[in-house]
């Protein structure tokens, strides 16, 4: 397996991990570990998203975001704290920022069996009447990215000298979110706001569709902002704060942002679709023992995934302190 550079983030093929060839599989594990130790990002082909999945979801989300605000606002539910449905323009901001990001978005959440609905207290996914195929397109994409993420986590587990299926118990029926985002055309000079300010993701790993053009930037070890651009058949997969914390910062949750385009492109919308792979809320994010030594003492207090998530949602303005 070759590891090569694509705009300074490594590019990998998941088929290497799925191969019956032990050497190919181990090479993938090593490459994932190297990428996540050094920059926290990689681009991935061989994932479980089909071109039909991708094209259909983009078609449906464009139809939804083109609806009048009155129609979209029907799906903005205060009681859901942004976990499901629509969040309007400028509501969310990065930790430590006051200006709202220049975006609106939708949240698809976990799909549970009737039996599992009795176990997990997740809100249902609202059905969008105005765009009949919107929900099915979201569900298909959600399941494909969840499956892809599970295999990436299995590779990470092997790199960390854990059982290959260590993360399965935490992410199956986890509190993951698929977030189609619309960055509308910019109509006036932004007031200290960018499309998405510099931030780290909350979750274990993020799988991102729509990083095929300039906009997404990653901060490297030298403190420089570099473009993260994937090929058409690739998605970008990065480490989130939960996984970084769990590994005592052995794996890096890298600061990234979405910058405003040059003025000549302000009239165009941008669409991006991240899948935030979260564990079940009861997962303990206590630092792994094999990531602690004399040179790397334990850096974080014990906490559950649920409590960590709530703290961060307060930080970014989605929830208020009770």
pLDDT, residue 1, reads: 39
Residue 13 lies in a domain: no
Alpha helices in 8-123 (DSSP H): 14-18, 22-38, 51-65, 69-73, 114-117
Sign of CA dihedral 12, 13, 14, 15: negative
Q: What is the pLDDT of residue 194?
A: 57
Extract the residue ranges of the chain whose pLDDT is less than 70. Answer: 1-8, 79-81, 90-101, 190-196, 211-214, 317-322
Quick check: is 146 in a domain? Answer: yes
Could you give the CA distance from residue 30 to residue 32 in angstroms, rounded to a whole number? 6
Spatial separation of the C-alpha atoms in residues 123 and 119, rounded to whole Å: 12
DSSP codes, 142-154: HHHHHHHHHHHHH
Residue 1 in domain? no
Contact 291, 247 (CB under 8 A): yes
pLDDT of residue 163: 98
Give the closest residue to 250 by CA, choosing from 296, 210, 186, 194: 296
Any idea which residue has 């092997």 for tokens?
A: 158
Q: Is residue 3 domain-resident? A: no
pLDDT at position 188, please?
77
What tokens does 142 get?
Answer: 């959600």
Bridge partners of residue 274, in order along the sequence = 208
Spell 35-67 as b/e; 16+ CB within 10 A means b.
Answer: bbebbbbbbbebbebeeebbebbbebbebbbeb
Query: CA geometry: angle at 191 spanning 255 and 203, to 5°?
Result: 25
Nearest partner of 182 among 93, 271, 64, 91, judged by Cα: 271
Please check whether residue 29 lies inside any domain of the structure. Answer: no
Among residues 35, 286, 17, 266, the alpha carbon closest in space to that of 170 is found at 286
- The count of domains in the chain is 1
- The b/e string for 252-280 (b: 16+ C-beta within 10 A; e otherwise) is bbbbbbbbbbeeeeeeeebebbbbbbbbb
Q: Quick one: pLDDT at residue 209? A: 87
pLDDT digits (tens, 9 = 90+) for 203-238: 999 999 875 556 788 887 788 888 887 888 899 999
Helix residue ranges per DSSP H, 110-237: 114-117, 134-159, 168-171
Tell me the CATH number at 94.
Answer: 2.60.120.330
Tell me the C-alpha distance between 108 and 111, whole Å: 9
Please report the pLDDT score of residue 98 as a whole number. 54
Range of the domain at 94: 50-315
Classify residue 321: in a domain, yes or no.
no
Q: Say how far residue 301 (Cα) sits from the centre of its chain.
A: 24
In a domain, 16, yes or no: no
**Is 194 inside any structural domain?**
yes
């Amino acid at each position: 397996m070759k590891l090569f550079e694509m705009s300074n983030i490594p590019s990998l093929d998941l088929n290497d991990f799925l191969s019956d060839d032990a050497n190919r599989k181990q090479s993938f594990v090593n490459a994932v570990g190297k990428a996540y130790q050094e920059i926290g990002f990689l681009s991935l082909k061989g994932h479980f998203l089909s071109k039909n999945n991708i094209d259909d979801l983009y078609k449906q989300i464009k139809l939804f975001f083109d609806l009048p605000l009155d129609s979209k606002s029907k799906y903005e539910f205060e009681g859901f704290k942004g976990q499901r449905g629509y969040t309007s323009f400028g509501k969310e901001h990065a930790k430590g920022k006051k200006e709202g990001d220049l975006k609106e978005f939708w949240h698809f959440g976990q799909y549970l069996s009737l039996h599992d609905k009795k176990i997990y207290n997740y809100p249902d996914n609202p059905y969008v009447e105005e765009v009949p195929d919107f929900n099915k397109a979201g569900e298909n994409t959600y399941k494909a990215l969840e499956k892809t993420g599970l295999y990436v986590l299995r590779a990470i587990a092997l790199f960390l000298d854990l059982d290959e299926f260590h993360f399965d118990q935490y992410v199956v029926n986890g509190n993951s979110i698929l977030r189609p985002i619309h960055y509308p055309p910019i109509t006036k000079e932004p007031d200290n706001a960018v499309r998405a300010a510099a931030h780290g993701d909350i979750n274990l790993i993020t799988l991102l569709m729509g990083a095929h053009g300039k906009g997404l930037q990653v901060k490297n070890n030298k403190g420089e902002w570099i473009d993260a651009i994937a090929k058409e058949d690739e998605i970008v997969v990065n480490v989130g704060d939960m996984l970084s914390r769990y590994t005592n910062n052995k794996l890096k949750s890298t600061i990234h942002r979405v910058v405003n385009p040059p003025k000549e492109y302000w009239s165009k919308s941008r669409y991006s679709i991240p899948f935030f792979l979260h564990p079940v809320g009861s997962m303990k994010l206590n630092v792994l023992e094999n990531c602690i030594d004399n040179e790397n003492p334990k850096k974080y207090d014990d906490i559950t995934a649920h409590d960590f998530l709530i703290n961060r949602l307060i930080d970014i303005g989605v929830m208020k302190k009770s």
